[in-house]
Amino acid sequence: MKTPFIYTIKNFRSRRLTTAITITGIALVVFVFAAVLMMAYGVQQTLVATGSPDNVMIVRKASMAEISSIIGGESQSIISTLPHIAKGADGQPLISYEPVVIINLDKVDGGISNVTVRGVSGDVLMLRPQVTISAGRMFNPSLRELVVGESIARRFKGAQLDNTIKFAGNLWKIVGIFSTGSSGFDSEIWGDSHQLQDAFNRLNAVSSVTLKLDSPANFDAFKRAMSVDKRLQEFEPKIEQQYFAEQSSFLAGFIRVLGIFITIIFSIGATVGAMITMYAGVASRTVEIGTMRALGFSRRSILIVFLAESLLIALIGGALGIFLASFLRFFSISTLNFNSFAELAFSFALSSSIVWSSMIFAMVMGFVGGFLPSVRASRLNIVEALRAG
């Protein structure tokens, strides 16, 4: 079996042009396939990073997003008395009552997009320690002031430090820019909860309540305490990280399904290219195949050798496609989050499962494209093959 493999590798090198074209086609398809998976994974990573494992988020049951949830003032007061809520340095519960609204802003590169504006209260920097003010300062809760996420500052006109934007009939000054390590919060604008309630005539209603537990292990006990209070039956608590992970599922799933469907269509062309390359190889090596059969090599050996050549082409193409796709990690893009109807900025993310999935996809293309030509090579009649020379 050694001689046919060596022979195949030599012929693999001699047909450089057709082989290179096939490798390029497979590489491009794998690049698109990996890019789609990286995009979906990037959305998940961004939204999962938004939450904290020791924070609990309370929203109205069956609400698809915060913008469709309402929690009244009386319910907020009851929630604040529940057990296992951590307290800050001032002895007050670490709770943020958060109205969430959507506004329109002009993008730097043209067009208009929706942006999430979140009202926060209390010691929000202790509640969410991943938030750091990277420029300027935190807003004054007594004034119409805002802090914006880094992504918002980069992508929208007038959303830079010391600028003023207008919404809800008011002028709001941007006094700070915050960073959360590329989480979903970087695509939001934050202001004081009471100021936003007043501006949007929300009275004392908020969209969600976020609180910090005294220990993540006490979530079940907190949930039980909340469930036994009949006044809170219409609300449900979730670990903040889990809530935002669930928010990513629909968008990430949509990207995967649509992207994979398009990739499969592209893969047909790459598979046909591999098939043409292998058929051409069989046609140009008819005499050599007949000689190997005359020397005693079995049909199975010939089939395996030609199929191995096709898989080798696919392996190289797949590796090249993944290598090119890996550079996407240095790019950030934005899309509309179907749950919040607001823009979400995220980066492509690569994982070992994506690498394996992409390589398997490439090998499948190589197998499908090389199987029929390999069968044809193995079934050549020895005498007819030798006469072809």
Establish if 74 belongs to a structural domain.
Answer: yes
* Buried b / exposed e along 287-324 (16+ C-beta atoms within 10 A): eebbbbbeeebeeebbbbbbbbbbbbbbbbbbbbbbee
Which whole-number Å values give the CA distances from 211 to 89, 94, 106, 194, 227, in the listed order?
Answer: 15, 6, 33, 17, 16
Give yes or no: residues 216 and 80 share one domain.
yes
What is the rounded distance in angstroms from the CA atom of residue 308 to the CA atom of residue 112?
52
What is the rounded distance in angstroms from the CA atom of residue 259 to the CA atom of residue 108?
27
Establish if 242 belongs to a structural domain.
Answer: no
**pLDDT confidence tier of residue 98, bands split at 50, 70 and 90:** very high
Q: Are 201 and 48 in contact (CB under 8 A)?
A: no
Give yes or no: residues 369 and 274 share one domain.
yes
Which whole-number Å values give the CA distances from 347 to 35, 109, 189, 234, in the listed order?
Answer: 11, 18, 19, 36
Give yes or no: residues 204 and 331 share one domain.
no
Strands 170-179 and 164-167: antiparallel
Establish if 325 belongs to a structural domain.
Answer: yes
What is the rounded distance in angstroms from the CA atom of residue 8 to the CA atom of residue 251?
46
Rounded average pLDDT over 102-129 = 90
Q: What is the pLDDT at residue 97?
A: 94
User: Is a pLDDT exceeding 70 seen at residue 28?
Assistant: yes
Give yes or no: residues 10 and 129 share one domain.
no
Other CB atoms within 10 A of residue 252 CB: 20
Cβ-proximal residues to 57 (8 Å cutoff; 6+ apart), any chain: 51, 208, 209, 210, 237, 238, 239, 240, 243
Q: Are 224 and 65 in contact (CB under 8 A)?
A: no
Establish if 238 belongs to a structural domain.
Answer: no
User: Is a pLDDT exceeding 80 seen at residue 384?
Assistant: no
Number of structural domains, the chain?
A: 2
Establish if 239 belongs to a structural domain.
Answer: no
Burial status of residue 94 (CB atoms within 10 A of its CB: 0-12, 13-18, 19 or more): buried
Q: What is the pLDDT at residue 278?
A: 66
Contacts for 220-225: CB closer than 8 Å, 24+ residues apart = 221/83, 221/84, 222/56, 222/82, 222/83, 222/84, 222/85, 225/82, 225/83, 225/84
Establish if 157 belongs to a structural domain.
Answer: yes
Q: Of the candidates 20, 5, 7, 29, which has an alpha carbon nearest to the alpha carbon of residue 277?
A: 20
Give yes or no: residues 267 and 215 share one domain.
no
**pLDDT confidence tier of residue 279, bands split at 50, 70 and 90:** low
Cβ-proximal residues to 5 (8 Å cutoff; 6+ apart), any chain: 305, 308
User: Is a pLDDT exceeding 70 seen at residue 92?
Assistant: yes
Give yes or no: residues 310 and 178 share one domain.
no
Give yes or no: residues 213 and 267 share one domain.
no
318's tokens: 């797949």
Give yes or no: residues 100 and 227 share one domain.
yes
What is the rounded distance in angstroms from the CA atom of residue 2 to the CA atom of residue 253?
46
Give yes or no: residues 25 and 155 share one domain.
no
Q: Are 223 and 82 in contact (CB under 8 A)?
A: no
Look up residue 139 and give its DSSP letter: P
Each residue's pLDDT tens digit, 205-234: 999 999 999 998 999 999 999 999 999 999
Establish if 12 belongs to a structural domain.
Answer: yes
What is the maximum alpha-carbon separation in the chain? 95
**pLDDT confidence tier of residue 1, bands split at 50, 70 and 90:** very low
Give yes or no: residues 206 and 180 share one domain.
yes
Establish if 320 belongs to a structural domain.
Answer: yes
Mark which of 207, 233, 259 sits at the end of a domain.
233
Task: Please give the helix or strand (H or E) that residue 276 lies within, else none.
Answer: helix 240-284
Q: What is the pLDDT at residue 387?
A: 56
Domain that holds residue 284: 2-48+247-341+348-387
Instruction: Report the chain's mean pLDDT, rounded to a whole number.
Output: 83
What is the rounded distance in angstroms from the CA atom of residue 389 to the CA atom of residue 383?
11
Mark which of 180, 210, 233 sits at the end of a domain.
233
Identify the residue with better confidence: 24 or 300.
24
Q: Are 133 and 177 in contact (CB under 8 A)?
A: yes
Give yes or no: residues 43 and 88 share one domain.
no
pTM equals 0.80
Rounded average pLDDT over 335-344 = 73
Give yes or no: residues 83 and 181 share one domain.
yes
Mark which of 172, 206, 233 sits at the end of a domain.
233
Identify the residue with better confidence: 47 or 127.
127
What is the rounded distance in angstroms from the CA atom of residue 98 to the CA atom of residue 102?
13
